[in-house]
C-alpha cells in the first residue's frame, strides 16, 4: 500500500467504478510473480514451458481478434482537435470519458484489480518517470514485470510525488460462476486506447495485447512522454540506443529511429562483420533524452525488457535476441512444440512434428497457415541480452554522438547520408518513411511517410513536434556538442528487385563511416541531399559480392530526387500552417540545390 493520497484516491475511484472482487497491490517479488504464473497455468491461460529447454518461461495464445496494436482504435484526446494534428485519431476528452465510463462500470466483476507501480527508466534516474497501472489482467502484470522496473521499490521512490495514471481493463467482466476465457478481451469495436496528453492520463479498454495493454511502452513512454517532453524541453523517441567501440577502444553511443518492422532490434543487437569493432545494446525501441551538465545529449532506455517480434528471429539473423529469451521469458502467439518449447517461422530449424499453432490447432503445412502469428512476440529481460551495455542502467544515461533515421526505400535514398546541420537533420527525420506495396496493407502503393518513426506514437500535432526538434537544437547548451544526424537505408534494390546491401552484421560498415564522421573525418562527398561517403571510404574488407554495389548504393540520382520532392511537398501540405518555417526553408534549400545540381 501507499501513503500517497492522490494514488489512494485514484485507486478507490476506479475500484468503485470497475467493481473488482478484490484489489492487489503488486510488490514485484519473485513469489508474487510465480503465484500469478501458476494461477494462469492452472486456469489454462498459460503453458509452462519445459524447464530444461526454456527455464522459467511461459507460453500464451491470444484471442484471434487481439493480436497487435490497434491504430484505428487509438485516440489522442486533446481539448482542441487541432492539437492532435492530422496524424492522430482525435476525440474530445470529455466525450471519450463519457463513452468509456459506462464500459468500465463493472468491467472487473469476477476479477482481481492489480495495482502496478512502475518506473520507466532506472529507479531514481532524473530522466525516469513513474507510472501506476491499474489492470485486471495477470498476463499484463507478469509482462510489465519484465518490461519495466516494477513493484514496491517504485512506491518507496514515488513517496507523495505525482505519477502518470494508466488505467487498463480487458473489458470482459465475469458473471458469478462463469468460466473465464483463455484470453479475455472485448470485441474490436469496443477497444479504446485513449490518451489525454494535457492531463497525462491513459485509459485503455478491451485489449490485452502488447502496446495496447502494457501501458508503460507505447502509451506512456512515447505518446504521453512525447507531449510531456514537448512541454518540458526534452525528447521521448521511438529509437534504439547502441554503444559502438572501435578497435582502438573508443566508444560512442548512437540512437536510431526506424519505423516498426525495419529491424531496430536487429541493429541494436548487431554482431559486427568487421574484426575489432564491438556493438552493445542499451535499448531496442525507445529513448528518452535530456541534456547533461556537460552540454551533451544523454539517453536512457526507459524499458527493462524487449517485446520483440519472434518470427524471423534466428541464430543467424539475431543470435543475441534469441539468447535474450532463452529463459525467464514469455512467448505469445508462437507455435508450441510437443516437447514444451516454442517455434516460429524463420527460427532457423524445421518445425517439430506435433507442433500446435498459435490458434491451438495441429500445424498443417497444407493449410498454408503459419504456426506463429506474424506479430508473435517474446518478452525477455534486457539484462539477459549477451551484449547488454554495461551502462544500460546508468541513471545519468549515455552520451549520444549520432542520431540515425531510416526506413525501407528500394530506391532514391543512399546507404548512408549525413545532414548538413541540425535543422537539415530534423528535415531528414520529418520525411522518413518506407515504401509500401498496395498488397501489403491494402493502401495506395507508394512511400508511407513515418516522420521520426513516430507516426503512430506522437502524442500531439506532428508539425509542432518538428518545431520542438528545431527548438531542441536552438536551445542546446552547446551547439557543437549536439549529436550529428544521419539517414541510413539498408533496403536499396537493383532494377531486378534484389537487395544491394547484405544488411545485418555488415551494417557495421555504415556505422563505422558514421563513427568516423562524428570525429570529423574527411571522408565525405557533398551532394544536394547531404554528405555521402566519398569514394573508397566505406570499409569493404571481407565483403564479397556487395562490394561491387557500393557505387549504386551511394548514388544520388537527381531525377529520383525531383520525383521525391513532389512527394515531400504533398507530405508537408498535410501539416498546413503548423509546418515550421525552418522545415519550409529546408525544403526550399533542397529544391534549389537539386535545380543547381548537374
Q: How many residues bind Mn ion (CB under 5 A)?
A: 1
Our answer to whether residue 281 is catalytic in this structure is no
Beta carbon nearer to Mn ion, 457 or 491: 457
Find the shortest distance in angstroms from Cβ 303 to ligand OXD: 10
Residue 243 binding target from ligand OXD, Mn ion, none, CB below 5 to 8 Å by type: none
Q: For residues 485 and 403, is the Cβ–Cβ distance under 8 A?
A: yes
Find the shortest distance in angstroms from Cβ 120 to ligand OXD: 15
Q: What is the DSSP letter of 187?
A: -
Residues 6+ apart with CB under 8 A from 292: 298, 396, 397, 399
Residue in the structure block whose three cell numbers are 518517470: 129
Catalytic entry in 262, 281, 385, 417:
262
Does residue 201 belong to the site contacting Mn ion (CB under 5 A)? no
DSSP-assigned letters across all residues of 366-387: GGT--SS-TT-EEEEEGGG-TT
Q: For residues 408 and 309, is the Cβ–Cβ distance under 8 A?
A: no
Of residues 285 through 304, those in contact with Mn ion by CB under 5 A are 285
Find the shortest distance in angstroms from Cβ 527 to ligand OXD: 31
How big is the CA angle at 13 (ends 12 and 16), to the nearest 5 degrees?
85
Helix axis angle, 422-430 to 581-596, nearest 10°: 90
Residue 468 binding target from Mn ion, ligand OXD, none, CB below 5 to 8 Å by type: none
H-only helix segments in 177-313: 210-213, 225-232, 264-268
User: By the criterion CB under 6 A, which residues form the site for ligand OXD?
Assistant: 69, 211, 260, 285
Beta carbon nearer to ligand OXD, 239 or 532: 239
Find the shortest distance in angstroms from Cβ 211 to ligand OXD: 6
Of residues 266 through 285, those in contact with Mn ion by CB under 5 A are 285
Find the shortest distance in angstroms from Cβ 284 to ligand OXD: 8
Beta carbon nearer to Mn ion, 186 or 256: 256
Which among 18, 32, 41, 71 is positioned nearest to 375, based on CA atoms? 71
Q: For residues 524 and 532, is the Cβ–Cβ distance under 8 A?
A: yes
Query: What CA–CA distance (Å, rounded) separates 411 from 491?
Result: 8
Residues 6+ apart with CB under 8 A from 470: 422, 423, 426, 580, 582, 583
C-alpha cell at 369: 497457415
Residues of 102-136 as b/e, b for ≥16 C-beta within 10 angstroms?
ebbeebbbbbbbbbbbbbbbbeebebbbbbbbbbb
Residue 32 binding target from ligand OXD, Mn ion, none, CB below 5 to 8 Å by type: none
Find the shortest distance in angstroms from Cβ 332 to ligand OXD: 12
Find the shortest distance in angstroms from Cβ 378 to ligand OXD: 12
Helix, strand, or coil (residue 240): strand
Beta carbon nearer to ligand OXD, 227 or 265: 265
Does residue 237 belong to the site contacting Mn ion (CB under 5 A)? no
Residue in the structure block whose three cell numbers are 519484465: 146
Query: What CA–CA distance (Å, rounded) separates 252 from 243?
Result: 6
Beta carbon nearer to Mn ion, 265 or 537: 265
Residue 450 binding target from ligand OXD, Mn ion, none, CB below 5 to 8 Å by type: none
Q: For residues 129 and 157, is the Cβ–Cβ distance under 8 A?
A: no
Q: For residues 257 and 453, is the Cβ–Cβ distance under 8 A?
A: yes
Does residue 464 belong to the site contacting Mn ion (CB under 5 A)? no
Q: For residues 216 and 118, is the Cβ–Cβ distance under 8 A?
A: yes
Beta carbon nearer to ligand OXD, 286 or 553: 286
Beta carbon nearer to ligand OXD, 272 or 311: 311
Q: Which residues pair with 418 in a beta bridge?
A: 486, 531
Catalytic residues: 262
Residues that bind Mn ion (CB under 5 A): 285
Amino acid at each position: 500500500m501507499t501513503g500517497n493520497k492522490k494514488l489512494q484516491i485514484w485507486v478507490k475511484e476506479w475500484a468503485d467504478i470497475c467493481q473488482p472482487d478484490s484489489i492487489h497491490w503488486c510488490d514485484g517479488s519473485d513469489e508474487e510473480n510465480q503465484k500469478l504464473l501458476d494461477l494462469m497455468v492452472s486456469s489454462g491461460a498459460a503453458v509452462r514451458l519445459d524447464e530444461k529447454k526454456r527455464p522459467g518461461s511461459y507460453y500464451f495464445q491470444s484471442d484471434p481478434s487481439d493480436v497487435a496494436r490497434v491504430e484505428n482504435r487509438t485516440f489522442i484526446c486533446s481539448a482542441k482537435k487541432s492539437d492532435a494534428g492530422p496524424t492522430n485519431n482525435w476525440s474530445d476528452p470529455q466525450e471519450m470519458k463519457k463513452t468509456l465510463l459506462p464500459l468500465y462500470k463493472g468491467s472487473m466483476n469476477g476479477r482481481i484489480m492489480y495495482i502496478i507501480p512502475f518506473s520507466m527508466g532506472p529507479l531514481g534516474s532524473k530522466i525516469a518517470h513513474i507510472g501506476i497501472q491499474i489492470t485486471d489482467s495477470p498476463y499484463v502484470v507478469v509482462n510489465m514485470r519484465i518490461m519495466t522496473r516494477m513493484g514496491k521499490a517504485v512506491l518507496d521512490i514515488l513517496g507523495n510525488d505525482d505519477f502518470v495514471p494508466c488505467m487498463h481493463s480487458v473489458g470482459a467482466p465475469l458473471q458469478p460462476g462463469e468460466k473465464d476465457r483463455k484470453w479475455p478481451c472485448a470485441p474490436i469495436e469496443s477497444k479504446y486506447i485513449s490518451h489525454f496528453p494535457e492531463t497525462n492520463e491513459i485509459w485503455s479498454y478491451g485489449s490485452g495485447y502488447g502496446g495496447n495493454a502494457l501501458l508503460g511502452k507505447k502509451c506512456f513512454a512515447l505518446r504521453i512522454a512525447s507531449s510531456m517532453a514537448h512541454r518540458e524541453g526534452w525528447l521521448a523517441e521511438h529509437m534504439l540506443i547502441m554503444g559502438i567501440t572501435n578497435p582502438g577502444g573508443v566508444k560512442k553511443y548512437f540512437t536510431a529511429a526506424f519505423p516498426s518492422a525495419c529491424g531496430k532490434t536487429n541493429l541494436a543487437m548487431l554482431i559486427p562483420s568487421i574484426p575489432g569493432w564491438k556493438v552493445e545494446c542499451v535499448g531496442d525501441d525507445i529513448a528518452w533524452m535530456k541534456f547533461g551538465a556537460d552540454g551533451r545529449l544523454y539517453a536512457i532506455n526507459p524499458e527493462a525488457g524487449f517485446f520483440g517480434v519472434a518470427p524471423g528471429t534466428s541464430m543467424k539473423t539475431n543470435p543475441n535476441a534469441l539468447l535474450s529469451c532463452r529463459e525467464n521469458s514469455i512467448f505469445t502467439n508462437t507455435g508450441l512444440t510437443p516437447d514444451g518449447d516454442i517455434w516460429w517461422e524463420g527460427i532457423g530449424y524445421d518445425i517439430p512434428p506435433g507442433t500446435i499453432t498459435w490458434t491451438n490447432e495441429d500445424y498443417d503445412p497444407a493449410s498454408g497457415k503459419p504456426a506463429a502469428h506474424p506479430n508473435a512476440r517474446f518478452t525477455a529481460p534486457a539484462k539477459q541480452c549477451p551484449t547488454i551495455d554495461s551502462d544500460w542502467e546508468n541513471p545519468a544515461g549515455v552520451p549520444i554522438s549520432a542520431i540515425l533515421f531510416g526506413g525501407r526505400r528500394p530506391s532514391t535514398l543512399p546507404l548512408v547520408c549525413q545532414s548538413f546541420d541540425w535543422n537539415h537533420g530534423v528535415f531528414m527525420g520529418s520525411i522518413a518513411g518506407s515504401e509500401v506495396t498496395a498488397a501489403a496493407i491494402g493502401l495506395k502503393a507508394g512511400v508511407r511517410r513515418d516522420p521520426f518513426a513516430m507516426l503512430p506514437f506522437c502524442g500531439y500535432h506532428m508539425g509542432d513536434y518538428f518545431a520542438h526538434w528545431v527548438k531542441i537544437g536552438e536551445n542546446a547548451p552547446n551547439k557543437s556538442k549536439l549529436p550529428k544526424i544521419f539517414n541510413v537505408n539498408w533496403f536499396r534494390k537493383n532494377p531486378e528487385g534484389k537487395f544491394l546491401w547484405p544488411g545485418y552484421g555488415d551494417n557495421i560498415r555504415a556505422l563505422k563511416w558514421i563513427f568516423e564522421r562524428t570525429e570529423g573525418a574527411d571522408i565525405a562527398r557533398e551532394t544536394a541531399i547531404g554528405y555521402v561517403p566519398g569514394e573508397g571510404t566505406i570499409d569493404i574488407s571481407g565483403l564479397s559480392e556487395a562490394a561491387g554495389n557500393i557505387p549504386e548504393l551511394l548514388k544520388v540520382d537527381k531525377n529520383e530526387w525531383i520525383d521525391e520532392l513532389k512527394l515531400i511537398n504533398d507530405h508537408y501540405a498535410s501539416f498546413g500552417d503548423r509546418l515550421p518555417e525552418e522545415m519550409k526553408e529546408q525544403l526550399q534549400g533542397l529544391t534549389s540545390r537539386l535545380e543547381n545540381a548537374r
